[in-house]
Structure 1
Amino acid sequence: MYRIDPKLDPAACNALTQTASGLLVPGTEVTGIAPGTAVGTSRSVDVDVTAPAAGACPETWTVGARLTPVFGTVNAGTADLRTSAMGQQVPLPNSQVVLPEPGVYRLTAHVFGLATWNFNGRHIASINALWINTATNAFVPGSPRKVLLHDEPGTVNPETGLKSIGGNAVCEGYVTITAPTTYEVRGLRATGDGNTLANANLQHYLSSTTNQQGILWQKVSD
């Protein structure tokens, strides 16, 4: 009877070991991970794993991945710009969005502006809108938009009553963040002539154009 002792390669990468009860080869179990970096919290991919049936030979593990970027929408209100100073930024109510994790995001705001007046005389009415980082007060590059610009060259017939003009715009931009960050939409008005009567009577409003999907955000890249 011959006894042959196994010769194990001492390399650190060798998973085969000699134990008191015999040779041991550690098993491998594959698990999926939720969104994160390789194993953290800033990825936009879920990794799913299906284990093989008990006793299967060979053991086949099925691994898949799902793209799962975060996104959202909010229902914004109407900003009353009537008493704001020329060029003063006024937040659009309920337009704030909190981007929850590091990555690149696309911000979109569908907005509608309205200017009304009831006086005679020339005036120029305009409304701008833009995305703002609420922590730094910096605007999102590419997002400022002219919502409306109206030049009234002459007098308005007082017998026709209140006059109004409206306009739509889409404010969009991409931002890259490293931590949860809040953004909001702001509007600002202007009159081109500086006339006291115009400033007192020319009324501006800015609102989301649709109640359900006016303000949207979506993560587009890690």
Structure 2
Amino acid sequence: MRGPAPRRPRRRPVRVAGQRQRPEQVVTRHTRTDELAVQLPRTFLDDPDLRGLAPGDEIDVAPALFVAERLPAGPGVDGWAHDDLGLVSARGTVLTAIPTSGGGPQPVSVLDAGERLFPLFWSTVPPTEGPVALAGALYLDPDLAPGTELGEQVALCRERYRVTGLRLSSRLSWRPGPVRQLTEVPPDVDEDLVLVVGLLPVGVPGTHRPSRIG
């Protein structure tokens, strides 16, 4: 029997791209079978599993939601919407948020957004439980990988995806630069750029809808 995997030190994303959508822009609400645009923060570019990503790869991951803002929940239908930079607006129910007092690892918050479960990283936003509306960005965190202590807490959030593309995009919507399509993860990313990974659930045809990434 294989013993438990060694726990990695909990690393936090140094920076994910902030909100760039204008209020008048409308983003279609997505379903579980839609392609995801997920940021890969430069903090994690040294992780061997993430550094080796390439279009066409199949990976088991639980894309997490970096919470930048908590919004009034109000009435409405649970779900989420996101753009080609991975910026998200979502509403649903937070299932776990309050740390335990027994000295064990802090539980990972999970948002049930209707058709999908997202691990949550609260950043500077105080954690909460129950119905909520959130804004932030999707990102990949190696500490939520299979076999890690935190990763096993969010096993129900994990799914097998096909990498549909890699690209570098500008953080600044008011000064966008040309999008650069990549065949591999670069060793470093400039501060004014965002590395975005396209992920499509395995088993979903690539023609399900026009590709957002790649």
TM-score range, shorter chain: under 0.3
Query: Structure 1-normalised TM-score?
Result: 0.23
Query: Structure 2-normalised TM-score?
Result: 0.24
Larger Rg: 1
Structure with the higher fraction of residues in helix conformation:
2
